[in-house]
Structure 1
Amino acid sequence: MLIDIYQGRNPPPTVAPFTIVIDVIRAFTVAHFAFLQGANRIFLAESVEQALKMKRDNPALVLAGEVAGLPIEGFDLENSPTKLQNQDLIGETLVLKTTNGVRATLNCLSSNHVFVTGFSNAKRTALYVKERIAEEKLDAVNVIASHPSGDDDLACAEYIKSIIDGSNSISTEEVINRIKQSHVADKFFNVENPIFKQEDIFYCTKELDGSFIMKVKKNKRIPMIERVNV
């Protein structure tokens, strides 16, 4: 089986039937926890302007995201799993705009099946894709570590690859340590920078035994993430 890992948010040089896009800190950890808090679906916005227009057209939408890691004026939620813990999102539709994860996903829509995940749902996602590959007798998967230089996403990509190919060559403990030690996580441990919460890294490194995966639905004008129970 050919499992290619690519790093960055640009379109990968090859197209595979299955693609898994990773954003550990923090977009797809946020998406995972939003579904756990009851969200119904999550649209992927190309730009802040598109997200705000969607909100004007449908005020019931909940906007979440960041630009350069920072909160966006006019958005309802930050790109923070910590901030989601007290949010009642039952039945809500979110619109997510982020720098890396969302952009990388939108650049992978030529793949037949696109899934997104952080570390929190990585094992469940990898096992699901492994099962689907065997059922459909396919032999290629792209795993996208969406941060252009972050070892957090790269460690998670290697973890997912090791589950799919059966090598189990990297432990959960090693992945967690690499996420915490990545340069992307540094600002969350800087007490002089209160914008970034250390608690976010706790949630980004918390592996959950999830009962669902997050799949991108492409047959809409604006792609969306849906919760698929498994």
Structure 2
Amino acid sequence: MQIHLFQGSHTPPVQSNVTIVVDVIRAFTVSFYALLQGADRILLMETAEQAIKFRQKNPTFLLAGETNGYPIEGFNFENSPYQIKQQELKGRTLVQKTTNGVRAALNCLDTEHLFVTGFAGAKTTAEYVREEFADRLDPPVINIVASHPTDEDDFACAVYIKSILEGSRDISFLEVINRIRQSEAAEKFFDEKKPEFKREDLLICLEERPSDFVMKVNGTGKIPMIERVIV
């Protein structure tokens, strides 16, 4: 395998067969729990305005996300896995807009196979990609994109995924958790002056959660969407 690590929401400079976009705090942790709570699919939108206009035409759709970390007026949900875990979403469609994770995924649509994950599904995603593509492609080129442009939370998780793909275990489970917890992105969840950032969200983002699915982006339609792929 040829594995490349990139950081930021821009389009990677290397063409790949497979791309894995990582957003731990909080976008793709929200996506993961939305699917666990029964959501059928998650549509990805570049801007809040696009999401709101789209919901006007589809009033049963639910909006979730943030701008620069903060809730968006008119959205049903914040970018909060804790909030999503409290919802019954069976059969519902979620529309998601976030500053880093969603934008990074939208900028990676030219890859053949695009997956997204937080830490919760990182191990499952890495194992699925390794088993599904390692022998089928010769050799597979895999991009792993840590969507936060500067911080350690997504990058540590990306290194963890790379280590599982390579079978090297260069970074331990506990080291990943510690690097996420100590990241700049995590600091605001311990700041009592910033009640918009719930500590419960961070704790959920630090949990690795075995599941029977991975999150794959279907970019063939007019609007890219995250779908559940059973493993």
Q: Would you say same fold, with TM above 0.5? A: yes
Structure 1: which amino acid aligns with 2:82? T
Tell me the equivalent position of 2:81: 81
Look up the SS of the partner of 1:4 in the other structure.
Answer: strand
**1:12-23 paired onto structure 2 within 5 Å:** 12-23=12-23
Cα displacement string for residues 86-121 of structure 1 (whole angstroms, at most 9, x for unaligned residues): 111111000000000000000000100000000000
What's the TM-score, normalizing by structure 1? 0.99
**CA deviation after TM superposition for structure 1 residue 15, in Å:** 1.2
Instruction: Please tell me whether the aligned partners of residues 18 and 140 of structure 2 are also in contact (alpha carbons under 8 angstroms).
Output: no
CA apart distance, 1:132: 1.5
Q: Distance between the aligned counterparts of 2:87 and 2:144, measured in 1?
A: 31
Misfit runs of 4+, over 3 Å = none
Q: 2 CA distance for matches of 1:150 and 1:96?
A: 22
2:199 paired with 1:198:
yes
Instruction: After TM superposition, give the deviation of residue 10 of structure 1 in Å.
Output: 0.5
8 Å contact from structure 2 (residues 157, 176) kept in 1: yes
Distance 2:149 2:161 in 1: 18
Instruction: Give the whole-Å Cα distance in 2 for the aligned partners of 1:149 and 1:203.
Output: 22
**Residues 1-230 of structure 1 aligned to structure 2 (within 5 Å):** 1-137=1-137, 138-230=139-231
State the TM-score, normalizing by the size of structure 2.
0.98
Aligned-residue RMSD, C-alpha: 0.7
Gaps of 5+ in 2: none
Aligned residue-pair number? 230
Q: CA offset at residue 48 of structure 1?
A: 0.8
1:53 is aligned with what amino acid? K
Query: What is the percent sequence identity of the aligned residues?
Result: 56
Counterpart residue type for residue 62 of structure 2: V
